[in-house]
């Protein structure tokens, strides 16, 4: 099935890409979650608008992305969450919490670009990956503390 991605899908593409996927994957995963729309002849206008919006949100230049990466990697972001007596969190650290901690440190990042290797479910140190540019990824150190 031919689809137009409306959001970034890991391992498949970014918003605005036209992709060919199996029917079941489209029907059961991509379409119900509004990650894609069916491709039509008039869909090219939609593809163009999605790409323009993505370009306006993206970090404009490679140099700027590298400077933001330097700032992120030189700092440790502190996130205060509720935790049990043994240090286990009530849930997990979300992408939005990482973006909010970066904003509090004076760095603006898109929460949708934050990825975790594994869910952060305990107090202590952790890392997250932030995609700032197609060629630039930053490894962010997180300090999760009980509050």
pLDDT tens-place string over residues 93-117: 999 999 999 999 999 898 988 999 9
| Tokens describing residue 73 | 């990697």
Is the domain of 72 the same as that of 141? yes
Q: Is residue 33 scored above 90 in pLDDT?
A: yes
Q: How many domains does the chain have?
A: 2
State the CATH number of the domain containing residue 47: 3.40.5.10
> What pTM does this model have?
0.65
Domain holding 30, by residue range, is: 2-57
Is the domain of 42 the same as that of 77? no
Is the domain of 119 the same as that of 71? yes
pLDDT tens-place string over residues 42-93: 887 878 877 777 676 665 677 788 888 999 999 999 999 999 989 899 999 9
**Any idea which residue has 């996130």 for tokens?**
79
| Tokens describing residue 4 | 């137009």
| Tokens describing residue 141 | 């150190």
pLDDT tens-place string over residues 130-146: 998 878 899 999 999 99
**Which pLDDT value is given to residue 94?**
94
Which positions ≥6 away from 115 have C-beta within 8 Å? Answer: 10, 95, 128, 129, 130, 131
């Amino acid at each position: 099935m031919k689809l137009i991605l409306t959001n970034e899908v890991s391992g498949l593409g970014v918003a605005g890409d036209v992709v060919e996927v199996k029917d079941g994957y489209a029907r059961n995963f991509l379409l119900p979650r509004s990650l894609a729309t069916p491709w039509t002849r008039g869909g090219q206008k939609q593809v163009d608008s999605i790409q323009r919006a993505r370009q306006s949100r993206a970090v404009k230049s490679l140099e700027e992305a590298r400077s933001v990466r330097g700032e992120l990697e030189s700092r440790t972001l502190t996130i205060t969450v509720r935790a049990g007596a043994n240090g286990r969190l009530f849930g997990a650290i979300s992408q939005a919490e990482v973006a909010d901690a970066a904003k509090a440190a004076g760095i603006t990042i898109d929460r949708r670009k934050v990825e975790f290797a594994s869910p952060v479910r305990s107090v202590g140190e952790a890392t997250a990956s932030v995609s700032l540019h197609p060629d630039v990824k930053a490894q962010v150190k997180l300090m999760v503390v009980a509050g």
